[in-house]
Amino acid sequence: MAMTLAMAGGVSVAAQTAASASASAPTPAPVRAAADTCSYPYVCLFKNGTRIGQFQDVTSGFQDLPSRPSGPNLVVQNTRNDDVAYIRRANGITTCLPPKTSIGIVSGTLTGIRIDSRSTC
């Protein structure tokens, strides 16, 4: 389980309320990740432009986020070519992030991430 998650300057990381993974949910809008980089094949978390976490492994369940990032200015970027990433929020909503996309998280708290080998949400 390759997981890296660190606090940026002691600031809690943030989350946005986005669409759930249901079929009727809109596709996440692309967002520029940050000045910091996220290279293939990672799914990265950025807070205020600084990478605070990266994930690489395809897993059958969610990997918990020990820091429980929350607040504005959080971006999740999926650099993978053929794999979706699911982000789980404290309120139980799960959002699917298609390959090669990023989303901004403006409120809420992230509690987990899972990379799935499916190529579409």
Predicted TM-score (pTM) of this structure: 0.70
Cis peptide before 69 (omega within 30 of 0): no
pLDDT at residue 35, as a whole number: 54
What is the span of the domain harbouring residue 79?
A: 3-116
User: What local confidence, expressed as pLDDT, does residue 68 receive?
Assistant: 86
Asked if residue 73 lies in contact with residue 110, where contact means CB atoms within 8 angstroms, the answer is no
Strand-pairing partners, residue 119, are none
Q: Is residue 74 part of a domain?
A: yes
* 121 domain-assigned: no
Q: Can you give the pLDDT at residue 15?
A: 30
Per-residue confidence (pLDDT) for residue 20, from 0 to 100: 33
Q: Report yes or no on 26 lying in a domain.
A: yes
Residue 73: predicted pLDDT: 84
CATH of the domain at 55: 2.60.20
Low pLDDT (below 70) residues in the chain: 1-35, 71
Counting the structural domains of the chain, the total is 1
